[in-house]
Amino acid sequence: MSKKVPINHLRELESEAIYVIREVVSQFENPVMLFSGGKDSIVMFHMARKAFYPAKVPFPLMHIDTGHNFQETLDFRDWLVQETGVKLIVRYVQDSIDKGRVVEETGYTASRNKLQTITLLDAIEELKIDCAMGGGRRDEEKARAKERFFSHRDEFGQWDPKNQRPELWNLFNGRKNLGEHFRVFPISNWTEMDVWQYILLENIPIPSLYFSHEREVFERDGVLYAKTPYLKMKDTEKTEKRIVRFRTIGDATCTGAIESLANSVEDIIREVAATRITERGGRADDKRSEAAMEDRKIEGYF
Amino acid sequence: MEDKTIERSYLDMELLRFTTAGSVDDGKSTLIGRLLYDSKAIFQDQLEAIERASIKKGEEYVNLALLTDGLRAEREQGITIDVAYRYFHTPKRKFIIADTPGHVQYTRNMVTGASTANAAVILVDARHGVIEQTIRHAYIASLLRIPHVIVCVNKMDLVEFRQEVFDNIQQKFHGFATHLDLYDVRFIPISALLGDNVVDRSKNMDWYQGPTLMYLLENLYISNDYNQLDSRFPVQYVIRPQSIEFHDYRGYAGRMASGTFRVGDRVKVLPSGFTTTIKGIDFWTDHLESITAPQSGTIILEDDLDVSRGCMIISEENGIKQGQDIELMVCWLGDKPMIPGGKYALKHTTNDLRCMVKEVKYKVDFNTLEKDYSNKSIGMNDIACISIRTTKPLFYDSYRQNRVTGSLILIDEATNVTVGAGMII
């Protein structure tokens, strides 16, 4: 089979991401790829496989499991690991709670979203990880728009947004001192639409949560939440069955569903093209304050 | 069927990266906000958020600048500190904007944004005309070899949309630009605030017959922006599966820096200088006939040679410069001044080495663009011509010919911070 790959914008973004992933493997000794089971990390992992084929992906995936995942996400993760033979490392927020490293939030808006930072930083220290690749995109949130491809973290895992290394051409500087690490974002330049178009182009499997399905949900502050054991409902809140899908996949406690009939990637692309709300518009974790993302990132969030 | 085109149209979209430069209050953020807003890249929740913020600040119009200032310190001080990347698309192209701050002290950010740009949008305030900052921005665009420069004369609404204001600025710009290395410069009179000639044609300036900014961005001819003549493939990583199925597989992974390779091409591998033939070009499970910049792929060679990261595969007949004594233009990015005779780590393509600064030939006076042979202290934001000696030979082209094989960065070995951006002469 022989064919010429055209250089459209998706192929150029793909080439860039593959270049970045190969730089990581060349510049770091013990990298991991953070994997949440969401579409961004799935696309990133797909390109990692392309980058090293026919060899195996030369680093493990790492999942920071909050314990509040949708079961569909976990099933998909395990299927993907089985299918591709990649090594998977899982670290649990529950362990951090049990060890007293973090204190569980309480109340109706309780979420483990913020707690995962500690679990992640502990894992990086424990496993001597010198680079963690993430599926963050600059178009997601305004603090992310300032992020480098190669983002330096000090020995406390902190990001210093006002003092970032200049990043020129395609020359990525991954030099660091012992105990420091890097976060690398291969799909920095992708938008939500690019990700979906690429999923369609490459025919990449994704969790069923992204497609339209019937689910028991309840409404809070204009956001539809799934009924799960992890999210405490108020007495006034009532669940009902609706036809929904998820635009992003995070914890059940902070990811809103949207009413949708889209049940193919083509449908989703049409929906994304028509929608007027950002994908993180349904994320309670970003709504906590105007600088919510910046603050979490400084501490060492994904 | 319009729906059909939404799903498939992306296969014909090109990518254009551009940088925006302007002084404080030139209306740069407003222009970007306008491009994003008129191309519907701003979402309802984002718009509502900045509407709320504008009202809170007591502003008359919706302040689109609030969209682009991402860090808390930037919002508090009302200035842009760091390069921010923005995205939008039209049916024709996807755009990446490197939005760089306009303050004098942030030259390094413009250099950063310019390094990967196909085009530079330089804003000039119609009331103030060509100022020092404009000259600096044009100089950086020239130094960084940005293929296309679009000068937007903004705030035309504040000069009654008068043609002579626009003509004067155009003339002034040409006056100093003749000393620069710019080869595609366009001028557009706009009002970013009101939207004139940004996406929609102005109704206030009948005298201007040229394209709108959006039309230009969509139609600039960018296929020639990559060097297509000199085939260079810096080896990034060696793929050796060591599995039963691919027992003898040995592929050289990388990204084509310039030009094209085809299966069957005769090539030379540097630094060894051995020649061989390209046996195959793989990408994932596909076997390709050719690979063209900026594609990533894996090259398989006919002969078993010693090839590793840092080597470069070039076409046999097309030479490349080699040497340890390199002359370059450097933009200093570090907060500590450059140390004459100092040693720095150096990154060039996929190569890591060290170098020593041998000599500062001259510094560029940013006010006159003249060469200053007397003042040779190089601090942050300075641009200078220097010579260095590297620990091992570099294979390179001049930056003029090749932005990938002609660029390098210098790194402070003590702090690991990137302190210099180099363009080889």
Tell me the pLDDT tens digit for each residue of A154-193. Answer: 988 888 877 788 999 999 999 999 899 999 999 999 999 9
* B232-315 and B321-424 share one fold: yes
Question: Per-residue pLDDT for B70 more than 70?
Answer: no
pLDDT band at A2 (very low <50, low <70, confident <90, very high): very low
Note the CATH number of domain B232-315.
2.40.30.10
Could you give the ipTM of this predicted complex? 0.92
The topology under which CATH files domain B321-424 is Elongation Factor Tu (Ef-tu); domain 3 (2.40.30)
pLDDT greater at residue B61 or residue A22: A22
Residue A4 lies in a domain: no
One domain for residues A23 and A171: yes
State residue A108's pLDDT score.
Answer: 76
Residue A202 lies in a domain: no
Question: Per-residue pLDDT for A6 more than 60?
Answer: no
One domain for residues A191 and A238: no
Residue A200 lies in a domain: no
Mean pLDDT of A71-76: 94
State residue B50's pLDDT score.
Answer: 74
Residue A100 lies in a domain: yes
Residue A127 lies in a domain: yes
One domain for residues A150 and A232: no
Using a CB–CB cutoff of 8 Å, tell me whether B11 touches chain A.
yes
Mean pLDDT of B261-277: 96
**Smallest CA–CA distance from B5 into chain A, residue:** A270
State residue B1's pLDDT score.
Answer: 38
Task: Please report the residues numbered 104 through 123 in chain B whose beta carbons come closer than 8 angstroms to any beta carbon of chain A.
Answer: 108-109, 111-112, 115-116
| Domain around A250 | 207-282
Structure tokens that stand for B340 in this block: 């004459």
Tell me the pLDDT tens digit for each residue of A282-295. 555 665 555 667 77
One domain for residues A16 and A163: yes
State residue B103's pLDDT score.
Answer: 67
pLDDT band at A5 (very low <50, low <70, confident <90, very high): very low
B255 by DSSP, 3-state: which?
Answer: strand
pLDDT greater at residue B289 or residue A100: B289
pLDDT greater at residue B99 or residue B347: B347
State residue B17's pLDDT score.
Answer: 96
The topology under which CATH files domain B11-219 is Rossmann fold (3.40.50)
How many Cα atoms sit within 13 Å of B390 on the Cβ side? Answer: 23
* CATH number of the CATH domain containing A130: 3.40.50.620
* Contact criterion met (CB < 8 Å) for A142 and B290: no
Question: For chain B, what percent of residues have pLDDT higher than 70?
Answer: 91
One domain for residues A177 and A232: no
Among candidates A7, A169, A173 on the partner chain, residue whose Cβ is nearest the Cβ of B116: A169
Tell me the pLDDT tens digit for each residue of B129-164. 998 889 889 999 999 999 999 999 999 999 999 999
One domain for residues A133 and A28: yes
Task: Please give the mean pLDDT across all residues of chain B.
Answer: 89
One domain for residues A118 and A158: yes
Mean pLDDT of B366-395: 92
Question: Per-residue pLDDT for A56 more than 80?
Answer: yes
Question: For the whole model, what pTM was predicted?
Answer: 0.92
State residue B75's pLDDT score.
Answer: 60
Task: Rank A95-104, A262-271, B388-397 by mean pLDDT and report only the highest.
Answer: B388-397
Residue A2 lies in a domain: no
Residue A3 lies in a domain: no
Give the number of domains in chain A. 2
Using a CB–CB cutoff of 8 Å, tell me whether B333 touches chain A.
yes
The dihedral region occupied by B45, where left means phi > 0, alpha psi between -120 and 50, and beta the remainder, is: alpha
State residue A277's pLDDT score.
Answer: 65
Question: Per-residue pLDDT for B365 more than 80?
Answer: yes
One domain for residues A212 and A154: no
One domain for residues A112 and A214: no
Among candidates A8, A15, A145 on the partner chain, residue whose Cβ is nearest the Cβ of B70: A145
One domain for residues A103 and A71: yes
* Contact criterion met (CB < 8 Å) for B239 and A54: yes
Using a CB–CB cutoff of 8 Å, tell me whether B287 touches chain A.
yes
One domain for residues A37 and A127: yes
| Domain assignments of chain B as residue spans, ordered by start | 11-219, 232-315, 321-424
Tell me the pLDDT tens digit for each residue of A13-51. 999 999 999 999 999 999 999 999 999 999 999 999 999
pLDDT band at B67 (very low <50, low <70, confident <90, very high): low
One domain for residues A221 and A184: no
